[in-house]
Structures are given as C-alpha cells and as structure tokens.
Amino acid sequence: MKKLVLLTMMLFAFVGFAVAQQKAEIKFDKVTHNFGRFSEKNPVQECTFTFTNVGQAPLVINQAMATCGCTVPSYPKTPIKPGEKGEIKVTYNGKDKFPGHFKKTITIYTNGTTEITRIYVEGIMEEAK
C-alpha cells in the first residue's frame, strides 16, 4: 500500500513538472529594420515586425518599450497561441530631431522562456533641401 501511494505521488509530481516546463517562446522573422534614407520633409516612418510563438504555451507580451518617445511600438494585447503569428508595429517620428543616422531599440517583455527580446529600427534622415 505504501508503495502504491508513493508511486502515485511520484507520478503526480512528474506530470506537474512536465506541465510546468511548457512555456511560450517568441521568434522574430527579423530583429532589425532599416528605413534607409528618407527626407526630413517626411519624418514619420513605419514598419512591422512579424513573430511566431514557437513554444508550447500561449505567449503574452507584457510590455514593449522604446528607448525614446520618437519611437512608438504597438503590440497585440491578447495571448498568441502556440504556432501562431503576431505583429509588432513600430512608428519612428523624426520631427524636430537632428538629421543623420539613428538606431533605436525596442525592448519586448514576454512570459516566454526568453523573457526579454530586443528589436531595432535604424535609418538616415537627410536634411530637407
């Protein structure tokens, strides 16, 4: 009887451990977008980063933060099921910024095995002539 109880407890512990190991995981198609050269007359640039949940559990993006207010990320607020894709849209606004090269970082916080992921936008804003 003791062996049966012990065996049952070990089985429940193993199943609980196995279920706890199932986590979400975010994988981006690309982590850098280059806007190239654009004029100061057209300072607003947009791009989309596509990702897939390659994990075994629903992926939740808790937050997406840019390094400054000129870069604004927009991300899905609902969980992404395993195997499904999602998008993060990034808008860069160079109005009232100095012309030249820029590189901005967007930090993504998730419930995945890799909790923090960074994506980047860069480009060269040329002076209006």
Instruction: Let me know: does 97 contact 71? Beta carbons within 8 Å.
Output: no
pLDDT for residue 129: 81
pTM: 0.82
Q: Please report the pLDDT score of residue 4 as a whole number.
A: 61
Supply the CATH classification number for the domain 22-126. Answer: 2.60.40.10
Ordered by start, the domain boundaries in the chain are: 22-126
pLDDT tens digits for 11-59?
665 555 555 568 999 999 999 999 999 999 999 999 999 999 999 999 9
C-alpha–C-alpha distance, residues 116 and 83, integer Å: 19
Mean pLDDT computed over 107-116 = 96
Whole-number pLDDT of residue 108 = 98
Residue 125 in this model has a pLDDT that exceeds 70: yes
What pLDDT is stored for residue 30 in this prediction?
97
By C-alpha distance, which of 92, 91, 120 is closest to 31? 120
Q: How many CA atoms lie within 13 A of 95 on its CB side?
A: 5
